[in-house]
Amino acid sequence: MFLSRVSLRFSLLALLSTVSGVFAENANPASTVPNHTTVLILGGGMTGIIAARTLHEQGIDDFIILDAKIELGGRMSPKTFGVTGRQVVIEAGPNWVQGTQEGNGRANPIWELALKHNLTTVYSDYGSLTTYDDSGYNNYTDVVNNAIDNFDQAIILAGQRLEEGEVDLSLRSAYGLMGISPKTPQEVASDYFQIDFECKSSLILCDAQSPSQTSWLASAWNNNFTYVPESGGFSDANQLCIDQRGFVYIAKAEAAEFLQPHQVIYNETVNLIEYGKDVVTVHTTSGLTITADHVLCTFSVGVLQNDDVVFQPSLPDWKTEAINSIVMATYTKIFLQFNETFWFPTQFGLYAAEQRGRYPIWQSLDHVGFFPGSGVIFVTVTGDWSLYIEQLTPGEVQSQVVDVLQTMFPNITVPQPIDIFFPRWASSKLFRGSYSNWGPSYVPTHSENLKATLNNRLWFAGEATSVPYFGFLQGAYFEGQSAGAALAACIQEKGDCERPFVEISKNAQPYPSILTSP
């Protein structure tokens, strides 16, 4: 068994080397690119890869993945960080396998890929926490635990509202109904830890949005379908990827098992999509033009919400409304490396500032089981604060985060970091944010219309089109699988080529006549 496993591993690495060679050499120059294909997949992230794999499994290999990057992976984005001699691979994008498997129960497909491809991960223990405020160290873990209880109660009440068909509200409104109103910096920071940031058992995913910007009902089922086995979820565990090949390795390794070099085109940015009744034509900024019987668009909703890609004819109103009904949230990790470690011995540190969201969540990577001796720590900001720091220089951000560290550790002189890095997700034309999040007043027809096809030719899929798993990597996986299967059924005339839409999303109850009558 061991020998066969080693043999399989080296075969896989050989395939990876071949595919990586295509990345490096851009071995599909314009002169050799076919001008027509059956399926053109726009985007080589998890959704695009799994859609391609599903087509291949159904006997359809006349497809091309077109990607603006020079490698597969989409928002899975590893980076070598640190000064020479002390470098580690960190993750600018997705970092966790969120929800794994409980016993012989249902398994998260991302966890299955991690096991299959021997990805190195470490359990994130959110209970390993040290708390701080403007006075320095201050143990308010009781406040954190209260925030956990509050959220758990909100999830229970959301389930009751779903069963009764009651309207959706924001999480902030839910807390108001429960008589909960965080006021002190410690209460607000604990609230942030559970909602804007947290990726923990019995809690919401990393929403990257404040409670007032987050759907109460959608966040509840989003949490349960991943973390609560009794509700159809996987498990309450989160595994942080520390693999020095990068989290993206599971996507590349999976692709290497079926993908041929001629089926991928790199370094081509789409700027125009013309969709007709018989064919879809895709244009790129370099002048490349490809036609296809079917096009699967896996662009983030952030990209679709901007004018980076033009559609001709213009998208119908029902599609545009659906695209703009969901938020593309931004979640930013700011990595710092120091010559010496001076911070908390726990995995996490929570800082309660007077201003909500000001560099609150700290995580040590210079920790047993992670990267001991690396001198690396990172702080996470989300939402509006993420947008704010994208307007700053690295030096300006460094000055602010060092000031916060000095406040957290007033009895020492905090040194300057020897390296700093943070991504600018919202500014990136390829992504325009980190991942999707449903805001208050979730409307089911919007999610239906988000994935609906146009002219039975132009398809849409991605983590945002997943009702139960929006914002999660497994959402991208499941949507790629679903879209690939539907495309195959359509092409082989075994199923419908239309994903239906609703022309007008109407309110469940009519508005008061005083508002509609002259």
pLDDT tens digits, residue range 109-125? Answer: 999 999 999 999 999 99
Both structure tokens of 290: 């490809």
Residue 202 or residue 289, greater confidence? 289
pLDDT per residue over 366-412, tens digit each? 999 999 999 999 999 999 999 999 999 999 999 999 999 999 999 99
DSSP at 1: -
The region, left, alpha or beta by phi > 0 then psi within -120 to 50, assigned to residue 232 is: left
Mean pLDDT for 322-338 is 96
Dist. CA 487–CA 51, nearest whole Å: 9
pLDDT per residue over 211-260, tens digit each? 788 899 998 999 999 999 999 999 999 999 999 999 999 999 999 999 99
pLDDT(502) > 50: yes
Tell me how far the alpha carbon of residue 314 is from its chain's centroid. 27
Residue 513 or residue 31, greater confidence? 513
Q: Is 174 within 8 Å of 157 (Cβ atoms)? A: yes
Q: Which helix (H) or strand (E) holds 310?
A: strand 310-312
pLDDT band at 210 (very low <50, low <70, confident <90, very high): confident
Mean pLDDT for 468-479 is 97
Q: Is 64 within 8 Å of 264 (Cβ atoms)? A: yes
**pLDDT at residue 11, as a whole number:** 39
Mean pLDDT for 23-33 is 53
pLDDT(203) > 70: no
**pLDDT at residue 323, as a whole number:** 97
Torsion of CA 377, 383, 388, 394, to 10 degrees: 20
Q: Which helix (H) or strand (E) holds 326?
A: strand 326-329
Q: What is the largest CA-CA distance in the chain?
A: 81
pLDDT(326) > 50: yes
The pLDDT > 90 percentage for the chain reads 82
pLDDT band at 145 (very low <50, low <70, confident <90, very high): very high
Dist. CA 437–CA 327, nearest whole Å: 5
**pLDDT at residue 506, as a whole number:** 87
pLDDT(24) > 50: no
Both structure tokens of 197: 């940031």
Residue the block writes with tokens 């022309």? 503
pLDDT per residue over 148-162, tens digit each? 999 899 999 999 999
**pLDDT at residue 198, as a whole number:** 54
Dist. CA 118–CA 114, nearest whole Å: 6
**pLDDT at residue 208, as a whole number:** 54
* C-beta neighbour count of 372 within 10 angstroms: 12
**pLDDT at residue 202, as a whole number:** 33
Q: Which helix (H) or strand (E) holds 272?
A: strand 270-275
Q: 3-state class of 175 per DSSP?
A: helix
pLDDT band at 28 (very low <50, low <70, confident <90, very high): low
DSSP at 31: G
**pLDDT at residue 196, as a whole number:** 72
Q: 3-state class of 472 per DSSP?
A: coil
Tell me how far the alpha carbon of residue 497 is from its chain's centroid. 28
Dist. CA 68–CA 429, nearest whole Å: 10
Provide the mean pLDDT of the chain: 91
Dist. CA 274–CA 115, nearest whole Å: 41
275 phi and psi, to 5 degrees?
-115, 125
Residue 288 or residue 219, greater confidence? 288
- Confidence (pTM): 0.92
Dist. CA 145–CA 171, nearest whole Å: 18
pLDDT band at 516 (very low <50, low <70, confident <90, very high): confident
- Single-letter amino acid code for the residue at 425: W
